Amino acid sequence: MTLVLSPSEWEPLAAAHAARVDELVAGHLARRQRREAHPVEDFLFTYYSTRPNQLRVWHPGPGVSLAGATAYEGRKGYLYADGAAQLDPAEIERRTDSITWIRRLLAATLDRQPQFGCFGLHEWAMVYRLQPGEVRHEKWPLRLGAEGTDQVVESHKIACSHFDAFRFFTEPARPLNVLHPTRDLQPDLEQGGCLHANMDLYKWATKLAPFTPSPLLLSCFELAKDIRTLDMQASPYDLAPLGYSPIPIETPTGKAEYAAAQRTFATRAKPLREQLIALCDELLSTTH
């Protein structure tokens, strides 16, 4: 059964969503206007392909029709007929393979035992043995210097399970990882303690758009934003001038702080992962 929302019902929801997005991305847009790079928050709009103006668009999700929503007419994934907009079943049908793959990955990650012993060493492996001029965030110095950073990498066991982190390892760092993630192995390796796997809930929510209800999408975005902060606090970069106090994962205290934060994010991520799986199931049920 389809729930029909009148303009007086859905327009305030859409306006509140856009206002919340404006609040979340204001700093990024202001810096972009000044052509000022930011190593933490830019990631959400460079690594992930959704732009702020796309994020501002409110989506009700499956089973909802928006009366008088002429702005959705012609928008990808929507049908506008009889004075109302709703998701296009044909678009769901066209994306069945993609939805099925995303569901498989999310469900496998949900069922796997989380691991909390990686200590964010993926960021360190991305700068291992690089020469001056090769470091991605060159503007920001390495907190321990190049030699100290390399020593941290060499003195730890690296066990990165996330392909999209591992693929940015430097060539000398790759053999040091006990796992060798590939795209094909992603559903077999990802686990719920991984910062990047939980940050990527935002990616999968956007990949499922416009089917993803905006409250769920925004919850995934806010989780990714918070995780990215921890990710860079625990990185080898000194971002103190930006207000990010370092988490020194090369020390027992730093390791404990990082693992505790990892557990908190895994707890936040679990219900979002479950909601995305349920969304996939709902979409796939309409294709049978």
> What mean pLDDT value characterizes the chain?
94
Tens digit of pLDDT for each residue in 15-70? Answer: 999 999 999 999 999 999 999 888 898 899 989 989 999 999 999 999 999 999 99
| β-bridge partners, 84 | 67, 81
Contact predicate 50/214, CB 8 Å: no
Residue 214 makes CB contacts below 8 A (sequence gap 6+) with 17, 57, 58, 59, 60, 61
> Is residue 85 packed enough to be buried (19+ CB in 10 Å), middle (13-18) or exposed (0-12)?
buried
DSSP 263: H
Rounded to an integer, what distance in angstroms lies between the CA atom of residue 235 and that of residue 260?
Answer: 16
What number is the average pLDDT over the span 120-139? 83
* Packed helices 252-285 and 214-233: angle between N→C axes, nearest 10 degrees: 160
Neighbours of 66 (CB within 10 A): 27
**What pLDDT, in 10s, does the model give residues 175-215?**
999 999 999 999 999 999 999 999 999 999 999 999 999 99
pLDDT above 90 coverage of the chain, percent: 90
Q: Taking the CB of residue 146, how many other CB atoms lie within 10 A of it?
A: 17
Residue 133 has pLDDT above 70, yes or no: no
pTM: 0.94
Cis preceding-peptide flag for 210 (omega within 30 of 0): yes
> What DSSP character marks residue 251?
S
Cβ-contact 52, 42 below 8 angstroms: no
Dist. CA 226–CA 228, nearest whole Å: 5
DSSP 123-135: HHHTSTTPPTT--
Q: Looking at the DSSP assignment, which residues form a beta bridge with residue 5? A: 66
As a whole number, mean pLDDT of residues 245-252 equals: 97
Residue 58: how many other CB atoms lie within 10 Å: 24
